[in-house]
Structure 1
């Protein structure tokens, strides 16, 4: 027996314990800090250049834009216009999105019909929707109807193509398994096709939301007497750069908030997948 084997276990030297491994910053926190830094640098550079490098008449400044937004909300003058834009967005997205889901699911499970209609759908999709806005005003008037049609048309194709792809992307093994067990077509749709395609549907909605907001605002820019687009057009008519940028900033903020709501809805709808 060697000497080392006769020593008690406690007497055998163990390597010195080093410092505990350092844990890095949470990736979400790091991303948030990076985004805040980008915003600070951007707005700070804009504020410094306004009046020094660039004429404020052409660029305004973040402080002036912020004051304009605060004035609108303080007096309440922006609320009626914002509510009109949100109504146009909501109704148009609902109608167009619902139609896109229904048609996308149907054609996704009917490949022959989809092949027949594919060139015609492509032709309609290739048309510049915003360029058709004046025709919508001519056909449906300058009020609520023309904006809903424009928003609905934009939303339809974005949701339709994603839903169509999702319906075709279903694993046929699952469908065959249900057929062997005697499931009818409705059960297959409810148990397999729809849960599998819901991720694609939510992706289409997430893409459609900012585009739908843009469609509503552009429709108001072309012809309207109310809405955020009308506020922007009115400010532009008087060469009010601050008012134009304040309206644009408001539209951007609304788009971000609505997009985040869709992301939350997506997480809820796909919670079965996350678990």
Structure 2
């Protein structure tokens, strides 16, 4: 084996080491998280019924029993499907409207300046206070929950999109104009790529609020949904059933976040890996 061949192999090995170290680090992080979860559940199980009254803090085993009971009865799946539908439809409509409005306002400073006081006033209005009005206006059915979700999602995505469009370096816009690019080309090749990280962040931040909006609407007036199931359990002082519904909401939020992280990695493929990892840990 020549010296040149040995040097080349060492160079390839050194280049592969950072990636290998990253793969080795990821597994311990997941393992540590899983170990921490197991420890917390074990401590919780030990304290409930011994140091803490299970009426106030039911054991994880009791919560699992309540969850299994509702799953076998079929009420869990029906209520979960209702909440997921309300969240998904409201999120899609609210996010799409916010993207369009954010881009239009970001490209039209005068329009943004004229309408800014109205947007600030609307954003300052607590959506929880509007929920009873939505029930009066649109009934206790599906529509009132979807509209509440839209209001929860819109302003988060709108302001992130608006800020992303407005934060594009003017030098890039001037260079593209000098090179003869049309407004459509400037938007597609300069503005949209620069604004995409903030847009993706706004979409990720709005998902939990969309879920919260659907559940709040179900709390106030509904005949189906996870919020309705949690409210029904709390009205009968069934703390295990209440926490079982809350646990399902937590799982749904985590799963949606995992899906959005994968989508974000594909959309933001041009970002450095270190930046991507930092963003995913927020």
Q: TM-score range by the shorter chain?
A: 0.7 to 0.9
Which residue of structure 1 aligns with residue 15 of structure 2?
Answer: none
Query: Rg bigger for which structure?
Result: 1
Which residue of structure 2 aligns with residue 201 of structure 1?
Answer: 199
Q: Are 1:90 and 2:83 counterparts?
A: no
Distance in 2 of aligned mates of 1:35 and 1:119:
45
Query: Shift in Å at residue 274 of structure 1?
Result: 4.5
Query: Shift in Å at residue 197 of structure 1?
Result: 1.0
Which residue of structure 1 aligns with residue 253 of structure 2?
Answer: 255
Which residue of structure 2 aligns with residue 150 of structure 1?
Answer: 148
Which residue of structure 2 aligns with residue 44 of structure 1?
Answer: 42
Q: Are 1:264 and 2:262 counterparts?
A: yes
Please, which moves more after superposition, 142-151 or 40-49? 40-49
Query: Shift in Å at residue 268 of structure 1?
Result: 1.1
Which residue of structure 2 aligns with residue 222 of structure 1?
Answer: 220
**Alignment map for 1:176-195 (pairs within 5 Å):** 176-195=174-193
Query: Shift in Å at residue 124 of structure 1?
Result: 0.8
| Residue in structure 2 matching 1:63, options 61, 64, 80 | 61
Distance in 2 of aligned mates of 1:274 and 1:76:
46
Query: Shift in Å at residue 24 of structure 1?
Result: 7.4
Which residue of structure 2 aligns with residue 128 of structure 1?
Answer: 126
Which residue of structure 1 aligns with residue 8 of structure 2?
Answer: none
TM-score scaled by length of structure 2: 0.85
TM-score scaled by length of structure 1: 0.87
**Alignment map for 1:7-18 (pairs within 5 Å):** none
Please, which moves more after superposition, 111-120 or 44-53? 111-120
Distance in 1 of aligned mates of 2:237 and 2:250:
21
| Residue in structure 2 matching 1:33, options 31, 34, 38 | 31
Which residue of structure 1 aligns with residue 75 of structure 2?
Answer: 77
Q: Which structure shows the higher helix fraction?
A: 2
Q: What SS does the aligned partner of 1:56 have?
A: coil
Query: Shift in Å at residue 110 of structure 1?
Result: 1.6
Which residue of structure 2 aligns with residue 239 of structure 1?
Answer: 237
Query: Shift in Å at residue 77 of structure 1?
Result: 2.4
Please, which moves more after superposition, 242-251 or 72-81? 72-81
Change in CA separation of 1:238 and 1:94 when aligned onto 2, cut-off 3 Å: same
Which residue of structure 2 aligns with residue 137 of structure 1?
Answer: 135
Which residue of structure 2 aligns with residue 19 of structure 1?
Answer: none
Please, which moves more after superposition, 152-161 or 183-192? 183-192
Query: Shift in Å at residue 192 of structure 1?
Result: 1.2
Distance in 2 of aligned mates of 1:91 and 1:242:
30
Distance in 1 of aligned mates of 2:21 and 2:142:
52
Unaligned ranges ≥5, structure 1? 1-22
> 1:166-187 deviations in whole A, cap 9, x for unaligned?
1011122222122112222111
Unaligned ranges ≥5, structure 2? 1-19, 274-282
RMSD (Å) for aligned C-alpha atoms? 1.8
Distance in 2 of aligned mates of 1:117 and 1:28:
46
